[in-house]
Amino acid sequence: MLQVKHLLDDKGRDILAIAPDAPVLDAITMMAAKGIGALLVMQGEELLGIVSERDYARNVVLKGRSSSSTLVREIMESGMTMVNPDDSIDHCMRLCTNKRVRYLPVLDNGKTIGVLSLGDLVKAVISEQSEQIEQLHRYIAG
């Protein structure tokens, strides 16, 4: 069964993060430059939350706030759903669906070691299903 640690091995364990006292403009600029939809909010090694394009749209743009004077800590989500390296991809998919989240920080013994997006999970499920279908085709044909 495919686990979080397998996805991180393939994807990499780079952690893209921003400090809580950084302006939201810095977070949005970094997300755009990296082509991602969220950043972990960290103070040193400590995971404090996550900030996403959705948080920006709802808590800055729609409220007429300034991107340069609003701090990340003011719009970040701090009640995150987290997973560990041994969790299954099915478990992660259920969490994303039930909790309506798109990003899952990965912690190993309290240390942040990566983050998975809903897109990462969907890609893994599709890949795993494609392999199973191919194996079934070979079994039937052989």
Residue 62: count of CB within 10 angstroms of its CB = 9
Residue 77 has pLDDT above 80, yes or no: yes
| pLDDT band with cut points at 50, 70 and 90 for residue 49 | very high
**Domain ranges (residues) in the chain:** 4-141
By CB atoms closer than 10 A (0-12, 13-18, 19+), residue 120 is buried
| pLDDT band with cut points at 50, 70 and 90 for residue 11 | confident
Average pLDDT over residues 62-68: 93
What is the SS3 string spanning 28-93?
Answer: HHHHHHHCCCEEEEEECCEEEEEEEHHHHHHHHHCCCCCCCCCEHHHHCECCCCCECCCCEHHHHH
Higher-pLDDT residue of 142 and 28 is: 28
Window from 21-25, 89-93, 125-129 with minimum mean pLDDT? 125-129
| pLDDT band with cut points at 50, 70 and 90 for residue 126 | confident
H or E segment to which residue 111 belongs = strand 111-117
Q: Residues 4-141: name the CATH superfamily.
A: CBS-domain (3.10.580.10)
Higher-pLDDT residue of 79 and 76 is: 76
pLDDT of 12-41, one tens digit each?
888 999 999 999 999 999 999 999 999 999
